[in-house]
Amino acid sequence: MHSIFGTKHLILLAISVVCLVLGTLVARKWSLEKLAKTLLGIGLISEIIKVFYYIIANEATHGGILPKTDLPFHLCSIQILFVAVLVYAKSQKLKELLLSFMIPSCLFGGIAALLIATTSSLNGRWVLSVQYFGYHVAISIFALVLLTGKQFQMTVKHYVNCLKLLLVLMLFAIYINSILYDGFSNINFMYVASPPQSGLPFLTEKYGWGVYICHYAFTVVLCVTLCYIKPIFTAIRQKFSKASVR
């Protein structure tokens, strides 16, 4: 049984870091269109592997049905839908809205998923390990390239839009968890029901769900704010400069 930060996990993490650095260097001059199409291809291949793997792995209990817990409603999985919209949508406003959300959520979601790897990704067959770590490296590269490149200029308006979309998705996840919960399955999409792993110091259910969800929301907002720290400081500086001129 392989555990988090065990030998297998550390090896996979080391490989992931190398791929993350090399991938970011290779893709940093790509256009947004090429980035999105590449991520869409990787995401679709990843999702197909995951779907077939979990159906076959659970065939004895579920037949040919994909278990509810493996539906693509986690923060990272749902990015496939968003990137498909980026590729095919015509509305620039819609694309900007999605990008404002995808950059922080892909970056911190991808890195968090690599660090807090699922039990199945560490103890399943090698194809699932490749799928899990490969996909989360890919979305992290996507976010890093856009965060450090010139393909998308982040603003305070995008920051506010990102927070609004996060709130909508949090409510969506709460509703989806409630709809799919049958009293037996461990339904926890986007981890709004309980922590992703037990034993985490800040994200804990020790003091009840209300305290946990407040800690969770604070952590999410902090991560998003860190992504937008440069445009926030730029906006503050510009505001004070205008005030001093007056």
CB-based contacts of 217-222 (< 8 A; 24+ apart in sequence): 217/170, 220/166, 221/163, 221/166
- Helix 79-88, helix 32-57: angle, nearest 10: 140
CB-hemisphere CA count at 13 Å for 88? 6
- Give the span between the Cα atoms of 225 and 92, in whole angstroms: 23
| Alpha-carbon gap, residue 118 to 113, rounded angstroms | 8
Residues 164-183 have pLDDT tens digits of 999 999 999 999 999 999 88
Reported as a single tens digit per residue, the pLDDT across 113-132 is 999 998 889 888 899 999 99
What's the longest Cα–Cα distance across the chain? 74
Q: Indicate whether 30 pLDDT > 80.
A: yes
Reported confidence tier of residue 47, pLDDT bands at 50, 70, 90: very high
* Three state DSSP letters for the chain: CCCCCCHHHHHHHHHHHHHHHHHHHHHCCCCHHHHHHHHHHHHHHHHHHHHHHHHHHCHHHHCCCCCHHHCCCCCCCCHHHHHHHHHHCCCHHHHHHHHHHHHHHHHHHHHHHHHCCCHHHHHCCHHHHHHHHHHHHHHHHHHHHHHHCCCCCCCHHHHHHHHHHHHHHHHHHHHHHHHHCCCCCCCCHHHCCCCCCCCCCCCCCCCCHHHHHHHHHHHHHHHHHHHCHHHHHHHHHHHHHHHHHC
- Residue 200, pLDDT > 90, answer no
CA distance 70 to 79: 15
Tell me the backbone φ, ψ of residue 110, rounded to 5 degrees: -65, -45
pLDDT greater than 90 at residue 32: yes
Q: Average pLDDT over the chain, rounded to whole?
A: 92
Q: Where are the domains of the chain?
A: 7-245
pLDDT over 90, % of the chain: 77
Question: For residues 238 and 241, what is the distance between their CA atoms, to the nearest angstrom?
Answer: 5
Predicted local distance difference test score (pLDDT) of residue 17: 97
